Structure 1
Amino acid sequence: MSSFLDRAKEQAQRGLTQGKQKLDEVQAQRTGGDLLKKLGAAYYAERKGTGTTEATQAALGAVESHAAEHGDAFLRS
């Protein structure tokens, strides 16, 4: 009986770990999408004359930093 409970506990732990990994991936995707929106808005404002090059560069830097830390999969979705 103990063996059964140990296996069930292991399986539950694996499920929790996989769920956390998936949640982290989804959150990274969402954050990446938000950063891309901010970059687009900064670029649009710059082209329209109401934004600055510095704001666009800062937004681009944030996107590049996020891609370096979490990968660039968010760029493909």
Structure 2
Amino acid sequence: MAGFMDRAKEQAQRGLAQGKAKVDDVQQQRAGAELLKKLGGAYYAQQRGSGSPQAVQSALTALESHISVHGDGFLRGV
């Protein structure tokens, strides 16, 4: 009986770890998409004359930083 409980506990822990990894992945995807959206908004504002090149550069730097840490997987859905 103890062997069964140990296996069940291990499976539950694996399931929790996989679930947490998936949640983390989704959160990073959303963060990347938000940074990309901010870059687009900054670029659009600059092109319309109400934004600055510094705002575009700042948004681009933040996006590149995110990509260097988390990868560019979120770009595949764009």
TM-score class, shorter: over 0.9
Alignment correspondent of 2:20? 20
Q: Secondary structure at the match of 1:76?
A: helix
- Which amino acid counterpart does residue 60 of structure 2 have in structure 1? L
- Which amino acid counterpart does residue 58 of structure 1 have in structure 2? S
Cα distance, 1:76 vs structure 2 = 1.0
The aligned length equals: 77
Alignment correspondent of 1:2? 2
Normalising by structure 2, we get a TM-score of: 0.97
What is the root-mean-square deviation in Å for CA atoms of aligned residues? 0.4
Q: Secondary structure at the match of 2:51?
A: coil
Instruction: Output the CA distance in 2 between the equivalents of 1:76 and 1:59.
Output: 19
Alignment correspondent of 2:29? 29
Runs in 1 of length 4+ with deviation above 2 angstroms?
A: none
Q: Note the 1:33-52 alignment, pairs <5 A.
A: 33-52=33-52
- Which amino acid counterpart does residue 35 of structure 1 have in structure 2? L
Q: Which runs of 5+ in 1 are unaligned?
A: none
Instruction: Output the CA distance in 2 between the equivalents of 1:41 and 1:8.
Output: 49
Instruction: Output the CA distance in 2 between the equivalents of 1:35 and 1:58.
Output: 10
Cα distance, 1:44 vs structure 2 = 0.2
Instruction: Output the CA distance in 2 between the equivalents of 1:71 and 1:8.
Output: 34
